[in-house]
Amino acid sequence: MTARLDDPSQDRRVRVQGRPVDSYPEVGPEAERGAVHRITVVGEDVLRRRCQEVTAFGTPELSRLVDDMFATNRVARGAGLAANQIGVDLQVFVWDITDDWGVRHVGHIANPVLDEIPAEHRRLVDESEGCLSVPGPYRVVSRPDRAVVRGRDLDGAPLVIEGRGYFARCLQHETDHLHGRLYLDRLARRERQAALRDMAEAKDEVFARRAERAARLGK
């Protein structure tokens, strides 16, 4: 018998790369090692094109990229971050997120592909969504409440990650980034324009908070 996601008896250990672990630090080792980068903002070209596939696995460069993405995501207090959000044209994203049932998920994936969910098993949910590259505004976006993404880890080993609820939304949002899409693209034109106006008003304050946290953490 499988546990339901909302069952209190569910295994609530942290999932690292989709697998439960007995212990995990509040700040992961990648975030400790990594350097903080500037996060790209809507309007920059790197956010609007499909990123290149990763072809070289197990390299120091790829490991450093993942470390830096975790560090940058931590300072920005994000749920996930795609490589093009720090200006790198590669199909990689990371996540560090607690789902709707209190389970923390941490990991990275390269060359992610989302499974197509049959219509009869697809349930769309309207939830508020934001983006580190659209600093400030949140808007309601409709997405399936379940996602399965397949790709590779840093060493090139096959990886399958499944998420529900907020975690599913994160997996879909970050995969969108690597295809050159933002959550703004899922909004009606008027709503998109309003979000951009809100961003223009909020972004300086958001940038200042990120810089303050980076300095406080010695990053």
Burial of 55-64, coded b for 16+ CB within 10 Å and e otherwise, reads eeeeeeebbe
Distance in angstroms (rounded) separating the CA atoms of residues 109 and 170 = 13
Q: Of residues 174, 191, 205, 212, which has the active-site annotation?
A: 174
Are the CB atoms for 16 and 24 separated by under 8 Å?
Answer: yes
Phi and psi based region of residue 41 (left: phi greater than 0; alpha: psi -120 to 50; beta: remaining): beta
Active site annotation includes 61: no
Distance of CA 206 to the CA centre of its chain: 18
Which of 96, 140, 130 lies closest to 202, judged by CA? 130
Q: Rounded to the nearest 10 degrees, how much is the dihedral formed by the CA atoms of 192, 179, 177, 184?
A: 10
β-sheet bridge partners, residue 94: 81, 108
- Please list the active-site residues: 174
